[in-house]
Every structure is written in C-alpha cells, then in structure tokens.
Structure 1
Amino acid sequence: MDIIDNAKAHEEQDRARAMHNQKASRTPEPAQHTTSGHVICIDCADPISAQRLVAKPNAARCIDCQGFFEQGARHAG
C-alpha cells in the first residue's frame, strides 16, 4: 500500500466515524402539542411562530426554548 492508498484509508475511516457520531448525537424530536389549531411550545406553552414551523415543521419548542434546550438549560417563558 502506498502513501496515497494509506491516506485514503484513513480518510474513509475518519468519515465513517464522523457519520456514526453524527447519527448517535441526534435525538428524536418530541411530539408537538396543539391547542385550537396552534402548535404550542412544550416548555413555555407559548405558540410556536409560523416562521419557525416553516423552517422546522415538526418543531415542538419555540426558537428561544430550543436554544435553551440545546445549551442544557430550561426556559420557562
């Protein structure tokens, strides 16, 4: 195996590891809560904006609560 083949093998291993880590880090989106036809944030109970739902149709949290959730904290509206 020459240096190019060796580099390619390492690159493929790194790519496979990165893809595995990415899949492992994904958590399923919680179910949406709806009231009177509006999607309600599961954390603060405020309606989720239409813009947020266009960007992420299955969003269960408003953009603010999602930010807090991703930082490991909870936001209570």
Structure 2
Amino acid sequence: MTADLFDRASDAEQAFRDNAIKRQLDRVVEQPRTDSAGSRCCLDCSDPIPQARLVAVPHAVRCFGCQAIKEPR
C-alpha cells in the first residue's frame, strides 16, 4: 500500500516536470529589435535598452520599465 502511494506521488511529480518542460519549449521567444545604429531597442516603447540591463539580462527585449509592466510581481 505504501509503495503504491509513493508510485502515484512519483508519477504526479514526473507529470508536473513534463508539463513544465513542455510549457518552456512551447513558449514564444521574442526577437530583439535594433535601431539603425545597432543598439537593441525595447519592443514596447522603442527606447534603447540600457547597456547595464543587457549586461544583467543578455536576452532582454524590453527596457526595465516596460518589462516591469509586462511582468508584474
């Protein structure tokens, strides 16, 4: 009986992991936008993304302000 309980818990945990991986693989990856000078610009406000943000988050496609609006905590 205890083994069955552990098996079900293990199966549920594996299903959770599989779903999390699938969500990551299925997500839309936004492509960065650059201006004529080659600077990366925010997808929402079109302002240049500060270099400090790109150092901290190399894959950033939004400035800090726009990202904070898109992803409220």
Q: Distance in 1 between matches of 2:13 and 2:68?
A: 28
What TM-score, normalized to structure 1?
0.64
Give the AA of the match of 1:48. I
- Which of 5, 11, 14 is the aligned partner of 1:13? 11
Counting only pairs closer than 5 Å after superposition, residues 1-77 of structure 1 correspond to structure 2 as 2-3=1-2, 5-26=3-24, 27-35=27-35, 36-71=37-72
> Which is helix-richer, 1 or 2?
2
Q: Which runs of 5+ in 2 are unaligned?
A: none
Kindly tell me the number of residue pairs found equivalent between the two proteins.
Answer: 69
Cα distance change, pair 47–17 in 1 and its aligned pair in 2 (3 A): same
What TM-score, normalized to structure 2?
0.67
- Name which structure has the greater RCO, CA cutoff 8 Å, separation 6+: 1
Is 26-35 or 7-16 further displaced after alignment? 7-16
Q: Distance in 2 between matches of 1:13 and 1:55?
A: 37
* Identity rate, percent: 29
Q: Distance in 1 between matches of 2:21 and 2:65?
A: 25
